[in-house]
A = this chain, B = another copy of it.
Amino acid sequence: MLPDSVVLREVGPRDGLQVEPPLPPEDRARLVDALLRAGVRVIEVAAFVSPKAVPAMADAEAVVAALGDRPGVVRTALVANVRGAERALAAGIDALTVTIAASPAYNQRNVRMTIEESRREIAAIAALAAQGGVPVDAVISCAFGSPYEGDVPPAEVAALAAAVVEDGATSVTLADTTGMATPRRVDELLAHTGPQVGLHLHETRGTGLVNLYAGLQAGVRRYDCSVGGLGGSPFAHGAAGNVATEGVVALLDDLGVHTGIDLDLLLEAAALAKELVGHPLPSPVAAAGPRTRLSPPGG
C-alpha cells in the first residue's frame, strides 16, 4: 500500500543551479516562479553561503526579494553556519536546510568540519531558528554510503539522525549523495530510522526512481527532487544529478500518489531551466514527454 500523497521538496533552484555557471537573481526567481505555477509548495530557493565558495548562489537576498511573500509556499534555504542563518532569517525565509555527512571524509571535504563541529554548528543554527519558529531540516549526506569510506552501517546513520534532532533539527532527510543506495539499503536504513524522514536521491547509477519506490513502499512521504534532474555534487567523482522532478511526478501520477504538481506546467518549468542553463538536462521525461503524450498520427 503506497501513501495517498507525498510532499516533493523542489531543490533545483539551489542544489541544481549551484553547480552551474552563475545566473542573475531575477532568472533564479523566474525559475522558482515557474515551479510554483506548476504547483510546487516546498522549494529550496537559495543558499546563504559565501559567494566565494559557491559563486552561483551569490545574492540570495535578491532572489528572496524578487520572489516576495508567497502564501501557502514554504521557501527554504541552505545555510552552512550561524552567519548564513542570520542572513536567511533576516531575509524572511520560511525554513532552513543544513547538511552533515554520515562520512567524516565527505564532511571534511564538503564543509571542512568534523562531524562534531558540524553538529555544534547545527545546534547553534537551530537555536537561532527556533526563536522565530523557523523549522530546520538536517540533510544527512552519504547516508547510503560514502565514496571515501564505502558503506556506512545503518545503525550509525540512524544514530546521527537522532543526534541532530537532539541538537535541534526539526526533521531529517537521508541523502544518497553519490548514488550508492539500492532498495535493500533504503529498506535497511528506514528500518532503523522509521519512515518519518525525507529522502534525497540521486541518479548517479540510474537508481533514483527505484529507491524512491522502495521509500514509498516503506511509507516515506517526503522526497527531494530537482527540475530537469539538475544538480550533482562537485565534491564527489562521477556524481550525477538529483532525481528529476518530472520523472517523479510522472511516476507518482500513474501510481495514484498525489503530489499537487501539474506535469504539463512542470515541463514548462523544465524547459525554462534548460533555457537558463543553456544545455540539455538529464531528465528522461523532459525529453520524452509524459507517457500519456501519444505520437501524432503517421508520426
A residues sitting closer than 8 Å to B (CB atoms) are 145, 147-150, 179-180, 182-185, 203-210, 212-214, 236-240, 244, 247, 250-251, 254-256, 283-285, 287-289, 291-292, 294-295, 297, 299
Contacts and interface: CB of A to CB of B under 8 A. Distances in A.
Nearest to A248: B206
Contact of A205 (B238, B247, B256): B247
A182 B254 contact: yes
B210 A295 contact: no
A205 B288 contact: yes
Contacts of A185: 254
A285 B206 contact: yes
Given A184-B255, A291-B180, A206 B205 contact: no
Contact of A292 (B150, B214, B292): B150
Contacts of A237: 295, 299
Given A183-B213, A184-B256, A295-B236, A205 B147 contact: no
Given A147-B294, A148-B295, A247 B182 contact: no
A174 to B, nearest CB: 16
The count of identical subunits is 2
Given A203-B284, A205-B288, A238-B289, 5 more contacts: A207-B247, A210-B212, A210-B251, A213-B214, A240-B287
Contacts of A179: 284, 288, 291
28 contacts: A145-B291, A147-B294, A147-B295, A148-B294, A149-B294, A179-B288, A179-B291, A182-B251, A182-B254, A182-B291, A183-B213, A183-B255, A184-B256, A185-B254, A203-B284, A204-B288, A206-B206, A206-B209, A207-B247, A207-B251, A209-B210, A210-B212, A210-B213, A213-B213, A236-B295, A237-B299, A238-B289, A239-B288
Nearest to A229: B206
B150 A294 contact: yes
Contacts of A214: 213
Contacts of A292: 150
